[in-house]
């Protein structure tokens, strides 16, 4: 389940989409909504779900001056103010520019609570999507909040006017008050103050990187999104992006190099999806990658059954959750290739044909000679669950 921006109408309205723990949006009519932020404070949003005449429940404000969820989340995350209509957004990167984007989605995490006694949803927010005319950015809320708290902890090193505004942001957040235009004004003033504190700084852009630059803070490397299993069962695109981030986490050291060597050796430098051999030539780097099934940075599984040897093209398709191996029958069966619904919904048939054939049975000779080293069915099933995979028919 998530809160999504309604592009039609141009009034900055949001609706509740999908289901969570057996409840649908229609079950939440007239319920009110709270946000449990990573700082542990539960804040009232003063929003309720109006069933409306169209049958599409929309979030309405209880305040005389409406302050919708997109503006609330943006100001809490120290992001520039979003627009209320998509048509007026800008193009290109960066996405987060003052009134140059729309906050289009706020994802519910697994700890979201539904209290039927009081008809209250306490949202555990895990990510927000920012969209403009041409680009999208997904922001992991806990990761971004950790960066903000690191800035809070180093205030003494900031210029006086900038420090005063960060203190105001911290004080407002610590108060637990419902978020309103006051917090948005603080962020807007921060954007302007940074333009005077950093040579060449653009006033209308995300202030957090500017604050980090002034303080000499380098954000920790690694994934910025929550793990796939914390994102929600109805967010396959964001889940796939998260899984890709976790697979790319560059913190494995010697264990990672050993894993890559073992995978390439077990598969003979051959891609398990197409059978091409792109390695084993003296002084030429191998052209196949050792792809983790379950991300090392979450599961710490540098073992051959948690890996598969893939050429660059098929590694991309695998990481993007477009094309995956699937055991049709018993564990002894050779896997087949299966396209996901994400693939068929977004790529042409001609493009998919260049990646492979749906339900194509892979060849045993493309896999390790010892079946015990083949991709683990258990790990693949966990991957499908983490990513909420929906395979094509």
Nearest CA among 174, 172, 191, 192 for reference residue 182: 172
Residue 43 bridge partners (DSSP) = 35
Kindly state whether residues 208 and 284 are assigned to the same domain: no
Stretch 224-242: mean pLDDT = 71
pLDDT of 53 above 70: no
CA dihedral 365, 369, 371, 375 (to 10 degrees): -70
What pLDDT is stored for residue 259 in this prediction? 85
What pLDDT is stored for residue 254 in this prediction? 53
* Token pair listed for 151: 């800035």
CA–CA distance, 291 with 339 (Å, rounded to integer):
18
CA–CA distance, 2 with 38 (Å, rounded to integer):
18
pTM of structure: 0.66
Domains held by the chain: number? 2
Q: Which residue, of 215, 240, 268, is where some domain finishes?
A: 215
What pLDDT is stored for residue 239 in this prediction? 74
Share the mean pLDDT of the chain. 86
Kindly state whether residues 240 and 352 are assigned to the same domain: yes
What pLDDT is stored for residue 11 in this prediction? 66
Q: Which one has a higher pLDDT value, 388 or 269?
A: 269
Kindly state whether residues 63 and 15 are assigned to the same domain: yes
Return the SS3 of 285.
Answer: coil
What pLDDT is stored for residue 332 in this prediction? 61
Helix axes 207-215, 141-152, angle to 10 degrees: 40
What pLDDT is stored for residue 206 in this prediction? 95
Beta strands 102-108 and 2-5, pairing class: antiparallel
Model confidence pLDDT, tens digit, residues 132-151: 999 989 899 988 999 999 99
Kindly state whether residues 211 and 232 are assigned to the same domain: no
Kindly state whether residues 240 and 122 are assigned to the same domain: no
CA–CA distance, 324 with 336 (Å, rounded to integer):
8
pLDDT of 354 above 70: yes
Structural domain of residue 325, as residue ranges? 228-387
* Token pair listed for 235: 């967010």
Cis peptide before 94 (omega within 30 of 0): yes
**Reported confidence tier of residue 362, pLDDT bands at 50, 70, 90:** very high
> How far does CA 286 lie from the centroid of its chain?
31
Looking at the chain, the whole-number percentage of residues with pLDDT higher than 90 is 48
Kindly state whether residues 62 and 210 are assigned to the same domain: yes
pLDDT of 55 above 70: no
What pLDDT is stored for residue 66 in this prediction? 80
pLDDT of 299 above 70: no
């Amino acid at each position: 389940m998530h809160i999504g921006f309604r592009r039609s109408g141009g009034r900055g309205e949001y609706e509740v989409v999908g289901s969570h723990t057996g409840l649908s949006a229609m079950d939440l009519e007239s319920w009110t909504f709270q946000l449990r932020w990573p700082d542990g404070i539960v804040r009232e949003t003063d929003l309720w779900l109006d069933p409306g005449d169209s049958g599409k429940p929309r979030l309405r404000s209880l305040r005389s001056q409406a302050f919708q969820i997109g503006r609330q989340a943006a100001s809490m995350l120290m992001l520039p103010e979003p627009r209320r209509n998509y048509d007026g957004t800008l193009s290109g990167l960066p996405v987060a520019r003052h009134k140059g984007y729309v906050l289009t989605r706020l994802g519910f995490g697994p700890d979201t609570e539904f209290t039927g006694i009081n008809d209250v949803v306490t949202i555990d927010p895990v990510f927000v999507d920012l969209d403009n005319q041409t680009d999208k950015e997904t922001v992991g809320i806990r990761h971004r909040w950790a960066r903000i708290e690191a800035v809070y902890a180093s205030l003494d090193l900031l210029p006086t006017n900038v420090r005063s505004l960060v203190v105001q942001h911290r004080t407002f957040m610590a108060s637990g008050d419902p978020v309103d235009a006051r917090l948005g004004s603080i962020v807007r003033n921060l954007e302007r103050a940074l333009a005077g504190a950093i040579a060449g700084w653009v006033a209308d852009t995300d202030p957090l990187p500017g604050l980090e630059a002034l303080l000499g803070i380098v954000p920790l490397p690694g994934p910025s999104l929550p793990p796939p299993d914390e994102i929600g069962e109805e967010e396959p695109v964001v889940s796939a992006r998260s899984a890709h981030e976790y697979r790319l986490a560059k913190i494995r050291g010697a264990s990672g190099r050993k894993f890559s060597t073992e995978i390439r050796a077990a598969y003979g430098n051959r891609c398990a999806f197409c059978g091409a051999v792109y390695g084993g030539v003296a002084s030429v780097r191998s052209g196949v990658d050792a792809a983790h099934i379950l991300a090392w940075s979450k599961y710490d599984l540098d073992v051959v059954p948690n890996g598969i040897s893939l050429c660059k093209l098929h590694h991309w398709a695998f990481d993007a959750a477009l094309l995956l191996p699937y055991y049709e029958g018993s564990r002894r069966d050779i896997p087949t290739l299966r396209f996901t619904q994400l693939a068929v919904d977004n790529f042409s048939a001609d493009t998919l044909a260049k990646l492979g054939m749906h339900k194509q049975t892979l060849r045993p000779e493309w896999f390790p000679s010892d079946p015990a080293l083949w991709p683990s069915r258990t790990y693949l099933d966990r991957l499908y669950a983490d990513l909420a995979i929906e395979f094509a028919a």
